[in-house]
Amino acid sequence: MRKKLAAGNWKMNGLSASLTELETLKTAHPAPSVEVLICPPSTLITSAVVTAADHPLQIGGQDCHANEAGAHTGDISAAMIKDAGASYVLTGHSERRTDHNESDATIRAKTRAAHEAGLTAVVCIGETLEEREAANTLQIIAGQLAASLPDILAAENTVIAYEPVWAIGTGKVPTTNQIGEVHDFIRTKLEQRYGEGVGRSIRILYGGSVKASNADEIFAVSNVDGALVGGASLKASDFGPIVTALENA
């Protein structure tokens, strides 16, 4: 059984005052039946961990460097994120791929670093609108999966997030058939590469303009084990109903 995961990515949003959103989320969901994860900016990880201490709420980073330490001004390592008390880290988010030119090989190295530090990596993949319109979606997904994932991993330390680039922050969402097609394809690829046991146990999240109003239908799609939520994770009043929808799925 795959434990469902509602993950929030705050991106470059959030000051200390935003931690009250975590308090509100905790109060609204004192004992969630799904896993709940918030990835705040790195400046808030430590205080978010403290805020979440008496609750199953998990805290994650949004990116890590592939090296454990060294002369990389401005970067943080997976070991640092773990040391700050987080349990997850995102790797390969499309904004990292675009804004920082991250290649699949870089993302694979970061994912490996996350595993070595004892973090669960949420590895993000997804096609652009151009790639979808050219009917290349599955080919792109296969390529990203092959090159962004390390050869050795476990179902416990790896989550895949399928996020079509054109759906992120746009309010545009693929049809449930389109989501299902990609999620089933990812599942098959994972089973082929890592064996049925591991491949069947890795969670696959959908991400891109998830909100309370579309969560029910997205969570009903086969092989959708939760969501990675950007904009609608910033406020507990938006994210809480998504958690509830996942609990009821």
Question: For this structure, is 163 an active site residue?
Answer: yes
Contacts 24+ apart (CB under 8 A), 188-193: 189/141, 189/142, 189/145, 189/146, 190/145, 190/160, 193/145, 193/146, 193/149
Total number of residues binding ligand PGA (CB under 6 A)? Answer: 13
Residues with Cβ < 8 Å from 129, sequence gap 6 or more?
A: 164, 165, 166
To the query of whether residue 130 is one of the catalytic residues in this protein, the response is no
- Of 5, 36, 210, 215, the residue at the interface with ligand PGA (CB under 6 A) is 210
Which of 169, 199, 217, 241 touches ligand PGA (CB under 6 A)? 169
The residue of the chain with the least Cβ separation from ligand PGA equals 230
**Binding of ligand PGA by 92 (CB under 6 A):** no
Among 6, 9, 89, 140, binds ligand PGA (CB under 6 A): 9
Q: Does 231 engage in binding with ligand PGA (CB under 6 A)?
A: yes
**Tokens at 229, concatenated:** 């939520």
- Contact in structure between 59 and 40 (CB atoms under 8 Å): yes
Q: Tell me if 241 contacts ligand PGA by CB under 6 A.
A: no
Element (H, E) at 82: helix 78-83
User: Tokens at residue 152, please?
Assistant: 């050795």
- Please, what is the minimum distance in Å from the beta carbon of residue 245 to ligand PGA? 14
Q: Please identify every residue annotated as catalytic.
A: 93, 163
Instruction: By CB under 6 A, name the binding residues for ligand PGA.
Output: 9, 163, 168-169, 207-210, 228-232
